[in-house]
Amino acid sequence: MIVLAANLLLYFWQPGTARLAALNSTGFLLEVLSIVPPVMVLMGLLDVWVPRRLVESHLGPDSGPVGAGVAMLLGTAAAGPLYAAFPVAVSLRKKGARLANIVIFLGTWGAIKIPMILMESSFISLRFALLRLLLTVPCILACGYLMERLLPEEELEVQSEAADA
């Protein structure tokens, strides 16, 4: 509604720019509407098909380095924009995934994807792609564990309960 109001106000000031802004806004809205329903279906399937104990054993508090590896594999194999990852992350969190692994999953989804590495290799160079990967992975891991250390578990539970209500 805010974007619509801004486009209407802009139309009176600069009609050409307003038309371009409306086209861009409509394109983005259609893109989001094409991504959100499949993500919601994926979340529903994740809730029904993936048992809590499976998520807890592979991504939970006792998963250790294996959990970080699984989180990175999940993030690397995922497709779509980063905003599609947040509902999946919430679902994993509700199933018992550790906060560090959720952050690692989100960081990997946003920064390391197999198609991205292949494209970087072909356009820039394999050396660049591998160097970026070598620098990105430790940063994502550090962010995950730092986030877990800085955010107390109790605070997350309170926020999660407030969001559910």
Question: pLDDT 10s per residue in the chain (165 long)?
Answer: 888 888 888 888 888 888 898 898 888 888 888 877 877 787 777 777 777 887 888 898 989 999 999 999 999 987 778 888 898 898 899 889 999 999 999 999 999 988 888 888 989 999 999 999 999 999 999 999 999 999 887 777 766 666 666
Q: Which two tokens stand for residue 120?
A: 């970087």
Cβ–Cβ < 8 Å for 140, 107: yes
Q: What is the pLDDT of residue 99?
A: 94
Q: What is the pLDDT of residue 51?
A: 75
- Distance in angstroms (rounded) separating the CA atoms of residues 80 and 146: 26
User: What burial letters (b/e) apply to 102-135, b meaning 16+ CB within 10 Å?
Assistant: bbbbbbbbbbbbeeebeebeeeeeeeebeebeee
- Distance in angstroms (rounded) separating the CA atoms of residues 154 and 160: 10
Q: What is the pLDDT of residue 162?
A: 62
